[in-house]
Amino acid sequence: MTLSPDLARLLSLEGQVAVATGAASGIGRGTALRLAEAGAAVLVLDINEAGGQETVRLIEAAGGRAAFQRCDVRVEADCRAAAEAAMARFGRIDILFNNAGIAIRKNAVNLLEQEWDLVLDVMLKGVYMLTRQVVPHMIAGGRGGSIINTGSGWALKGGADAVSYCAAKGGVWNMTRAMAIDFGKHQIRVNAVCPGDIDTPMLRSECAQLGEDETKFMEEAAARPIHRVGTPQDVANAVLFLASGLSAWVTGTHVVVDGGGIA
């Protein structure tokens, strides 16, 4: 049995434009590829130009449309330029995936002030900065839109040696709810996806920071009801749901993608 025309229409992002941050690798890349596969043109944002261009190449090789724009989400001028680039290249913005992230695994005593500032600026301020530039374009377009912010299981509970990460992700989650209230009247939905341990370069960098054996670290990360570490595609599928018409009446909430890790 094939998909019904109505279900295919709800799932399709054909003709839409997505902006994705942190899209040079990991969850960002996997999600950019999935959104493009569903029909969206994707503006790939990252400070990693080589990785971002590779994401574009992968999308185009699969028959999709994409462009890269270097963007430091901490910088207002970069965020403004990114929104303007999406409009100039594709003519609209329908989906914003705020995903740029950094993890510094230290507790409050060991964490330096500049490390605290970096983590909060990238993951919390960065969501505000780019949303601030994109939402006016969504409103002007009159079609509404979907904003998906990357939270974490640690947005909902604490974690060891990750005080700045937990603070930033907790802020992202509550900011998501506030923005859903503010922009709902414009038919702009705002939700969060909250991953558990996902096999990405960032997760493996956390292992290195903690000085742990990688094999043991990954085995412990897989110790959850569904006995494996997550993949970028696991998160990308949840983002696609939140971006698509399948979630047309879903806003101000979160989808936990963690294999049951916080069950």
Q: How far apart are CA 256 and CA 240, in angstroms?
A: 14
**Residue 6 within a domain:** no
**Residue 96 within a domain:** yes
Q: Are strands 66-70 and 95-98 parallel, antiparallel or unpaired?
A: unpaired
Structurally, the chain folds into a number of domains equal to: 1
**Which of 167, 166, 172 has its CA nearest to residue 147?**
172
Do 41 and 86 form a contact (C-beta atoms < 8 A)? Answer: no
CATH code where residue 138 lies: 3.40.50.720
Could you read off the pLDDT tens digit of each residue along the chain, which spans 263 residues?
Answer: 788 999 999 999 999 999 999 999 999 999 999 999 999 999 999 999 999 999 999 999 999 999 999 999 999 999 999 999 999 999 999 999 999 999 999 999 999 999 999 999 999 999 999 999 999 999 999 999 999 999 999 999 999 999 999 999 999 999 999 999 999 999 999 999 999 999 999 999 898 999 999 999 999 999 999 999 999 999 999 999 999 999 999 999 999 999 999 99
pLDDT of residue 2: 86
**Residue 61 within a domain:** yes
**Hey, what's the torsion of the CAs at 220, 226, 231, 234, to 10 degrees?**
-150
Residue 165 bears catalytic tag? yes
pLDDT of residue 210: 92
**Residue 263 within a domain:** no
pLDDT of residue 207: 87
Buried b (16+ CB within 10 A) or exposed e, 68-94: bbbbbbbeeebbbbbbebbbeebebbb
User: Can you read off the two tokens belonging to residue 215?
Assistant: 């094999």
**Which of 258, 184, 175 has its CA nearest to residue 222?**
258
Catalytic option among 154, 165, 183, 217? 165
Do 130 and 150 form a contact (C-beta atoms < 8 A)? Answer: no
**Residue 76 within a domain:** yes
**Residue 144 within a domain:** yes
What is residue 70's three-state secondary structure? Answer: strand
**Residue 191 within a domain:** yes
Task: Give the structural domain span for 192.
Answer: 14-256
